[in-house]
Structure 1
Amino acid sequence: MSPTDSDVLSCLSKTRRKLHQHPEEGWTEFETTWFVAEELRKLGFPIKTGIANIDPLHALGRSEEKVKKAIERAVAHGVPAKFIEEAGEFTGVVAEVETGRPGPVTALRFDMDCVCVAETNSPDHIPVKEGFASQNPGLMHACGHDAHTSVGLSVARWVKDHLAELSGTIRLIFQPAEEGVRGAQAMTAGGTVEGVDYLIGAHIGGFAKLGEILILQGGILATTKLDIKFEGIPSHAAADPEKGRSALLAACSAATMIAGIPRHSEGDSRISIGVLHAGEGRNVTPAHAYMQIETRGITDHVNDFLTERVQKIVAGVAEASEVKSSVTICGTSMTLPPSPELQAAALQVAQSIPGIRAAYDSRVSASEDCTVFMNRVVETGGEAVFFMYGANHHGHHRPDFDIQDEAMLNGYRMFTRMVARLNGKN
């Protein structure tokens, strides 16, 4: 007998609370990967973990130091060292469910990583009040990926329960490192979405309120994440100032000029200078500076315009300041590819869910790593769609971010009804 909505809601809530307590940032989700892998194995699904899904040459923004510390934490919390070793010290899980009947390959994507935000300790914050707040200092599921993973596991259970009613293949993708748009490129290069006819991705919250489902037709911005380094020459700030070359001043000049790059007439464009660290001491000419910045554009062309200007500014400032510079791309994603037929089908499915207000939307001015998967699927002749399932919240990436359990149930309903429509047995 299929579980009732009440059963599903209880399972979603329980899973999300467990995951919320153990947030892990991109490329370090070893506890989450182990948990997901074990749940999928209980269902009897064949799975591939870590390196089996990843081309490591495309694993952008991965810190070996953070990975090592995360492995130590995961092992201390009960994750078998052998599991981590077999995964090649990479994270992420893919399950492929064959029905044994001809039909399309439909991929469903769920991300797993957290945000580097310290969760509030306010007694009014539900995770604090009910005892499931983050146990990892400085890390928090402040974007709802714990909910995404919970929905994905409940969808997997639905697929198991309804396997006799389905055709084709269902591919469940639990992606690492969505934040900073770092993981999808590595998985795409690793072949994760090859052969996919339909790909469905989603995000909780955003502009969508509880009881709403928005089918995105645009608004997702292409983005590039860049790490910039300047290397100068140290000297005594008083005795030999002329012998030094200041990396700090070079970085400050670059920051001012990057912020002043003209925005683009073709549509939305964004530049954010999020981090600038420099210097060794007050009486030493600063020899090192480090910046983290990002560009975003309504089209790949607009984003490329901004990125190219950044690179030219860095090179020019370095030459003028007589310092060395480097620019490393640590993440990249694209805009939404067109799939009008699948978008129309998704809108119809959303409208069929009782109590849901469904609509097309293109207001999202953020970026989404799923677009890398989506563009690859469309390039190879498939279709892809992305939707938002609503929740009432205080804003993403905030210490007081929270969602309602009912929101996850609506995401579950949308995914399962899409699978039933696309892979229903003929």
Structure 2
Amino acid sequence: MDRHHQIRTDAKEIERSMIEARRDFHLNPELSFKESRTAGIVADKLKALGMEVHTNIGGYGVVGELHGSRPGKRIALRADMDALPIDEQTGLPFASTTPGVMHACGHDAHTAILLGAAELIAGRRDRLSGSVRFLFQSAEEILAGAVAMIKDGAMEGVDEIYGLHNLPSLTAGKIAVKSGVLMAAIDRIEIRIIGKGGHGGYPDACCDPIVASSAVVMGLQQIVSREIAPHQAAVVSLGTIHGGTANNIIPDDVELTGTIRTMDPEVRRSMPERLKRIIEDICRAYRCTAQLTYIEQVREVDNDEACTSHVREIAAELFGAEACQSIVPFTYGEDFAELMNLSKGCFFWLGSGPQENPERAFGLHSSKLNVDESCLAVGAAMFAGIAIHRLAFEGCRSE
């Protein structure tokens, strides 16, 4: 029987256990760097599969090492485990039991998928040349877990790395991928605009930082519309504004925070200077001063061409050529990019939207997100197929 057909069949056979695991994680979500329960379950399952297991890697990260029967390269597969500070509104029987915390990005599904893949691959270890490293990462949502795992040695000796993320706007059963930049680099900005406060009835005696901040909000949009080439995508979004204590008092200062998303490293490098120039010059016109703090968070996800070809090949062999789609880059961000900085690899989208009425799917970070659980077997088969394809030695090409 064809190797990939058997992987797909075996993935369906363990689908129920993956669903049960996903629902358990969904019931008991844990925030970034607090994933102790999830990590404990993951570690126990990997140990039961006969793996070498390391815990508390980069916070509550878990690393499982599965050695094949012959020496060879090392392939890493990664899933994230953390939830978000969101009140769940799904009404599901397995909805979060932790107030204010929810798996609104589908990391519960990712964890269950990689556990399923581990089971599929462990049953075939005698046919592998090399090893598979399973990375269960904490704190992706705050873009800190990947760097923490790297510092604890999780990427040492890795030749290739692969990861996935569910995508509700893509129907379950589909895969989407592209070589090159798949997701944007993310940076954070913090702005403090300093004026001179006073009575709201006498603004002439003040230097109003609220008026200056409103001009800054509008002025920053000119970076994208007038300073960056149309083919070089970028986003400047301000998410918070805080200032003032009463309706008739002009405050001394206003604080703003925002996010910068870029696809091109050169554009990213130019952003601090552009922001500083515009913010300071606008504030000067309003007799205020400004302080900009620019915090680099995570680089862009940039897929290796050869690794992307491997993903496409496996998707076509497992589910047919029509199941794998090309896709445009997203301005989402992922700290998987930091792992890829140390090894070539590929990150791909796993369809998790409903088979019927896909336009009604709730998006990532929605309080009503609920993945179509048929995506679990698809994701596990993809991970297993990739690892087995990359590590199989001659004579083990079929089952």
Report what 2:275 is aligned to.
Answer: 310
Once the two structures are superposed, the pairs formed by residues 271-290 of structure 1 within 5 Å of their partners are 271-290=236-255
Match of 1:369 in 2: 335
Equivalent residue for 1:228? 190
Aligned length: 375
1:353 alignment partner in structure 2 = 318
- The correspondence of residues 145-156 of structure 1 with structure 2, limited to 5 A, is 145-156=107-118
C-alpha distance in 2, partners of 1:42/1:234? Answer: 65
Q: CA deviation at 1:352?
A: 1.2
Displacement of 1:419: 1.0
Give the stretch that moved more between structures: 316-325 or 222-231.
316-325
Higher relative contact order (CA 8 A, sep 6+): 2
Matching of residue 325 in structure 1 with residue 263 in structure 2: no
Task: Find the partner of 1:163 among 113, 120, 125.
Answer: 125
Q: How does 1:254-265 map to 2 (within 5 A)?
A: 254-263=216-225, 264-265=228-229
What is the CA-CA distance between 1:13 and the residue it aligns to?
0.6
Give the match for residue 11 of structure 1.
17
- Residue number in structure 2 paired with 1:343: 308
- Aligned residues of 1:155 and 1:416 also touching (Cα < 8 A): yes
- 1:401 alignment counterpart: 369
CA distance in 2, matches of 1:156, 1:394: 29
1:7 Cα deviation (Å)? 3.9
More displaced 10-residue stretch of structure 1: 10-19 or 169-178 = 169-178
Q: Which one of the candidate residues 95, 101, 110 is aligned to 2:64? A: 95
Aligned to 2:381: 413
Instruction: Kindly provide the amino acid, as one letter, of the partner of residue 213 in structure 1.
Output: I
Structure 2 runs not aligned, ≥5 long: 1-6, 354-360, 395-399
Q: Distance in 2 between matches of 1:139 and 1:356?
A: 38
Cα distance, 1:247–1:170 mapped onto 2, change above 3 Å: farther
Secondary structure at the residue paired with 1:397?
Answer: coil
CA RMSD, Structure 1 to Structure 2 (Å): 3.0
Give the structure 2 partner of residue 334 of structure 1: 300
Greater shift in the superposed pair: 95-104 or 140-149: 95-104
Q: Is the 8 A contact 1:185 1:372 kept in 2?
A: yes
Instruction: State the 1:132 CA deviation.
Output: 1.0
Residue 156 (structure 1) shift: 2.0
Q: 1:111 aligns with which of 47, 56, 80?
A: 80
1:9: Cα distance to partner?
A: 0.7
Is 1:24–2:24 an aligned residue pair?
no
Give 3-state SS (helix, strand or coil) of 1:220's partner.
strand
Structure 1 residues 250 and 172 mapped into 2: Cα distance closer, same or farther (>3 Å)? farther
Q: Which moved more, 1:194-203 or 1:287-296?
A: 287-296
**CA distance in 2 between partners of 1:289 and 1:21 (Å):** 40
Q: Which residue of 1 aligns with 2:357?
A: none
- Of 341-350 and 411-420, more deviation after overlay is shown by 341-350
Aligned counterpart for 2:51 among listed residues 45, 55, 63: 45
Structure 1 position 269 matched with structure 2 position 234: yes
Amino acid at match of 1:15: A
CA distance in 2, matches of 1:370, 1:22: 24
Hey, what does 1:182 align to over in structure 2? 144
Partner-residue secondary structure (3-state), 1:329: strand
Structure 1: 5+ residue runs without aligned partners?
A: 54-89, 378-382
Q: Which has the higher strand share?
A: 2
Matched, 1:132 2:113: no
Structure 1 residue 388 and structure 2 residue 349: aligned?
A: yes
How many Å separate the matches in 2 of 1:314 and 1:48? 47
Amino acid at match of 1:387: F
Match of 2:263 in 1: 298
CA change 1:354–1:273 in 2 (3 A) is: same
Residues in 1 aligned to 2:204 and 2:376: alpha-carbon distance in whole angstroms: 61
Check conservation: 2:236, 2:258, Cα contact below 8 A: yes
The answer to which of 273-282 and 236-245 deviates more is 236-245
C-alpha displacement of 1:238:
5.8
Identical counterparts, % of pairs: 26
Separation in structure 2 between the aligned mates of residue 119 and residue 13 of structure 1, nearest angstrom: 19
Query: Any idea what SS the aligned residue of 2:70 has?
Result: coil
Bigger radius of gyration:
2
Q: Identify if the C-alpha distance between structure 1 residues 251 and 137 changes in structure 2 by more than 3 Å, giving closer, same or farther.
A: farther
Q: Which amino acid aligns with 1:46?
A: E
Residue 113 of structure 2 aligns to a residue in which SS?
A: helix
Query: Amino acid of the residue matched to residue 422 of structure 1?
Result: R
- Taking a change above 3 Å as real, the CA distance of residues 301 and 42 of structure 1, as seen in their structure-2 partners, is same
Q: Separation in 2 of the partners of 1:275 and 1:133?
A: 29
d(CA) in 2 for partners of 1:96 and 1:48?
A: 9
Any idea what SS the aligned residue of 2:87 has?
A: coil
Which one is further off, 257-266 or 404-413?
257-266
Of 223-232 and 10-19, deviating more is 223-232
* Contact 2:238-2:259 within 8 A present in 1 as well: yes
Q: Whole-Å Cα distance in 2 between the matches of residues 37 and 231 of structure 1?
A: 48
The letter for the 2-side match of 1:170 is V
Instruction: Describe the shift of the 1:103–1:187 C-alpha distance in structure 2 as closer, same or farther (beyond 3 A).
Output: same
TM-score (normalizing by structure 1): 0.77
Aligned to 1:79: none
In 1: Cα distance, 2:46 partner to 2:266 partner: 40
Report the TM-score when normalising by structure 2.
0.82
Q: Deviations over 1:228-254 (max 9, x none)?
A: 142647755369978866554444333
Query: Quick one: distance in 2 between partners of 1:139 and 1:395?
Result: 17
CA distance in 2, matches of 1:343, 1:253: 44
Structure 1: distance between partners of 2:145 and 2:215: 32
Moved more, 95-104 or 26-35: 26-35
- Tell me, yes or no, if the aligned pair for 1:220 and 1:365 is still in contact at 8 Å: yes
